[in-house]
Structure 1
Amino acid sequence: MTTAAKIVRFLVFFGAINLTILVWYSDTFKRVGNFHPPEMEIRKSLLKTETALRTAREEKPTPSNWGSDMTQSHLRGNISTSNKITATTPGSLDREHSAREIKPNTLKTKTESEQNMREAHRFVSPDMEAALEKRSKSWINSTGLFIMTGVFGRTGNRMFEYASMYGIAKRNNMTPVLLANAEVRRVFRIPDYIPHSLPPGVKLVKFHEMKYAFYDNRTETLYKKGQSVQLLYYLQSWKYFHNVEDDLKQHFRFRKEAEFRREINAFFDIALLELGMNIKRDKVTYIGIHARNWKDLHTNAHERGYNVAPSSYYTKAMRYFENIYKNILFIVLSDDMSWCKKNVQHPRIRYNPFNDSILSLALLGSCNHTIMSVGTFSWWGAWLAGGDVVYFKDWPKPGTYLWWRTNHEDYFPPNWVGISG
């Protein structure tokens, strides 16, 4: 009986340990809501990716020149983020993170030359492309290892996935792969030197990020494994791709660039006419405002940390820019425009007239500066625009599931300014 009792106690103890490990694993790797897909969604996504891989291999033979590329640099005139990452531990949390307040000494306006430099990244001549293509040959496929991501989320999520994959690939001298039917390829001018499929026989080892918006420094040494890698899941930190920003500012040029530019310029002209602003379009400072209210999330999203910015936040943010620039025109984009028209108001404000989400992203990216809210659409609109960026400092809701999985230092670039609601 004594022996039997010991065996029972051992089994109970062993079961408790296994349960603890299972809970820890689920808490660390399983995604929730828009950012953390349930296990079944992950399996379906992986199956979709693997099916697309097989299809791509069957439809298109492996290119003989895997090392060819057309890497491009941006010509915007504003300085890129330093290649040196601020020394932080990926697991560190700085909940007293405060934004730098810019002391406005004089009001500023965009001169014509500044505006031209801001727009210059939208045009790359053949000579520039040839020079930029040559630059990347030093690292593409230098190890014979490949890297790609899964297919998760919508456009903003997938931009993070591609950008991070590209930055991690360069850091590890691996070849990034983006499937031919990927949404990012359909929307943006991803250069053809990025392979459209894996070579036959290449097997991918899955790499799981630790948390939602935490930089995972294990990605810096993937090459040591000597294996090709599939990255999971969203990789939402600017630190993953700070080393390739020049390239990405060209990769993320819209395929419908000329069409979008005509529509956006026409909208700007009508807005100035309606407001009675007797001033040339290129003399105006455009401030994009993205106000997301999470209308498409499930009912318990708020409890998990998906809070939204109140109207007071937008008032403070607009006042912030009014203290720095003149000849301002605010442009509002939102998933809840009726709320914005009641709560985000200003004498010089106009609301997004476009129903196309990609054209709306181009509109946000065409502004000089950005007031962002929450979500990856907002993040990338600000990144594409460049200039000054104000973000909602009180996201996620403190003490929640998402809050513990988000590090502001890793998610928001250091030159972006946080403002509370």
Structure 2
Amino acid sequence: MMMFIIYLNMKYFPDRVQMLRELNDEIAPTARYDMAVDYETVGTDDGEKNETVIEKDILILKEEKGVTVEEDNDKEEPKEQPNETTTPEDNANKTTLKTQKRTGKKRNCVCAKFIGGLGNYMFLYASAFGVARKKNMDFIMLKTNSLLKTFQLGADNMRVVANYSLCRGAPTYVETRNCAFDKRIFLMSNKSSFWLYGYFQSYKNFEGSFAELRTQFTFKNAIQKKADTILSDIKQKYVKLTNNTKQTNVTVVGIHIRRGDFVGNNYGYTVATKEYFEKAMRWFNSKYANIAFVVCSNEISWGKKNLRKHNVYFVEKRTREVDMAVLATCDHLISSVGSFSWWASWLSKGTVIYYFPPAKTGSELRNHYSKNYTDYFLSKWIHF
């Protein structure tokens, strides 16, 4: 029998036991798992102390003689969430992954279980890519992963596969905090493949790979074309409204409003206020002339009620991928909270203003960030 003993910090992971069981069932269906707790006090880059797991004890694997776990190379993994932006054009023109030809023996792999929405997927992809690049390893992507239909991915160290057979039985790095950096992620040995399990929402996991990731996160042509058309139409409307003679004189500022399930939640999410958006809009109005504000939201009715002005335009009934492409293509951005807003900000080439703080003081969510949020927000961004 193969036994997995997973050590985790129960202070931050009381709700993750079931998730870890599901992971073990996936990577070793015949395995037996036992839970245990081990703590060590370590320092983080911002000087904060954190009780967390000892890296070497994240996963202890004990194999008893006579029993092995079979790798079912023909069995498909459950399909991940399909992308809503697939078009006949995409189907007719399948993008060939721009992977470079590898030489020599195959490298070990970084494996990640993708969970959540678009922003969560992007953090997991970026972190797996960043760790793999740092460790001189490959990383695994299921061919059903929706990111492949959203972006022009094609890293030279990415393996697109039908299932996780290459990762079965591999040790697992379990994060202790979703939005904070733990440098021990880079201490995992590259002598074997290993799993990353969690959300990994710190840019420091992939800070050394920013340039490559900007190329990776280029939207598919069909998505970008829709975003460009939306923004061109908005500029035309603004020019007509203001009698401005040229679209090139218009500065487009994106606004992302994240509400929905964040409103009234008990976990600790904050929600950007009307006052915040108005203050950020005044700031941009003081810097630029001829501004058109473009709003994308999962609750567009709130935006129409609270931010309706002559130069505010609302993007409605579009997919989340098109919304992100619109926001990323704007000249500047006023972001909200959540991983979707974070990535729209990261992709933006202009000034970014973000809502602060993203978590309520004393909440469970607050525990998942570093002391001063420096592991999460880029220093060049501006917060109100």
Q: TM-score range by the shorter chain?
A: 0.7 to 0.9
Unaligned runs of 5+ in 2: 1-5, 30-43, 51-95
Kept after mapping to 1: 8 A contact 2:263/2:271: no
Question: Is 1:357 aligned to residue 320 of structure 2?
Answer: yes
Instruction: Specify whether residues 41 and 263 from structure 1 end up closer, same or farther in structure 2 by C-alpha distance, changes over 3 A only.
Output: farther
Aligned to 1:242: 207
Instruction: Specify whether residues 184 and 41 from structure 1 end up closer, same or farther in structure 2 by C-alpha distance, changes over 3 A only.
Output: same
TM superposition shift of 1:334 = 1.3
Q: Secondary structure at the match of 1:28?
A: coil
Q: Secondary structure at the match of 1:307?
A: coil
Q: Secondary structure at the match of 2:143?
A: coil
What whole-Å deviation, never above 9, does each CA across 1:370-417 have from its counterpart, x for those lacking one?
111111111111111221111111321112111122131011011111
Structure with the greater alpha carbon radius of gyration: 1
Residues 82-101 of structure 1 aligned to structure 2 (within 5 Å): 87-89=45-47, 91=49
Instruction: Specify whether residues 89 and 204 from structure 1 end up closer, same or farther in structure 2 by C-alpha distance, changes over 3 A only.
Output: farther
What whole-Å deviation, never above 9, does each CA across 1:285-315 have from its counterpart, x for those lacking one?
111111112x23586x2x3211211111111
Picking from 335, 345, 355, the partner of 1:372 is: 335
Aligned to 2:140: 177
Aligned-residue Cα RMSD (Å) equals 3.3
- The residue identity in structure 1 corresponding to 2:315 is N
Aligned to 2:185: 219
Kept after mapping to 2: 8 A contact 1:142/1:173: no
Q: Secondary structure at the match of 2:142?
A: coil
Instruction: Specify whether residues 184 and 42 from structure 1 end up closer, same or farther in structure 2 by C-alpha distance, changes over 3 A only.
Output: farther
Question: Is 1:343 aligned to residue 321 of structure 2?
Answer: no
Q: Secondary structure at the match of 2:318?
A: coil
Question: Is 1:232 aligned to residue 197 of structure 2?
Answer: yes
Aligned to 2:78: none
TM superposition shift of 1:204 = 2.1
Instruction: Specify whether residues 338 and 204 from structure 1 end up closer, same or farther in structure 2 by C-alpha distance, changes over 3 A only.
Output: same
Residues 380-419 of structure 1 aligned to structure 2 (within 5 Å): 380-407=343-370, 408-419=373-384
- The residue identity in structure 1 corresponding to 2:366 is W
Picking from 269, 273, 280, the partner of 1:306 is: 269
Kept after mapping to 1: 8 A contact 2:356/2:383: yes
Kept after mapping to 2: 8 A contact 1:143/1:173: no
TM superposition shift of 1:344 = 2.0
Q: Secondary structure at the match of 1:308?
A: coil
- The residue identity in structure 2 corresponding to 1:352 is V
Sequence identity percentage: 27
Q: Secondary structure at the match of 1:287?
A: strand
Highest relative contact order (Cα 8 Å, sep 6+), 1 or 2?
1
Question: Is 1:296 aligned to residue 261 of structure 2?
Answer: yes
Q: Secondary structure at the match of 1:196?
A: strand
- The residue identity in structure 2 corresponding to 1:339 is W
Q: Secondary structure at the match of 2:375?
A: helix
Question: Is 1:205 aligned to residue 171 of structure 2?
Answer: yes
- The residue identity in structure 2 corresponding to 1:213 is C
Instruction: Specify whether residues 155 and 201 from structure 1 end up closer, same or farther in structure 2 by C-alpha distance, changes over 3 A only.
Output: closer
Instruction: Specify whether residues 222 and 281 from structure 1 end up closer, same or farther in structure 2 by C-alpha distance, changes over 3 A only.
Output: farther
Picking from 189, 195, 204, the partner of 2:159 is: 195
TM superposition shift of 1:192 = 6.2
Kept after mapping to 2: 8 A contact 1:141/1:174: no
What whole-Å deviation, never above 9, does each CA across 1:46-68 have from its counterpart, x for those lacking one?
756889xxxxxxxxxxxxxxxxx
Aligned to 1:28: 12
- The residue identity in structure 1 corresponding to 2:46 is T
Q: Secondary structure at the match of 1:379?
A: helix
Instruction: Specify whether residues 43 and 268 from structure 1 end up closer, same or farther in structure 2 by C-alpha distance, changes over 3 A only.
Output: farther
Aligned to 1:334: 297
Q: Secondary structure at the match of 2:336?
A: coil
Q: Secondary structure at the match of 1:350?
A: strand
Question: Is 1:259 aligned to residue 225 of structure 2?
Answer: yes
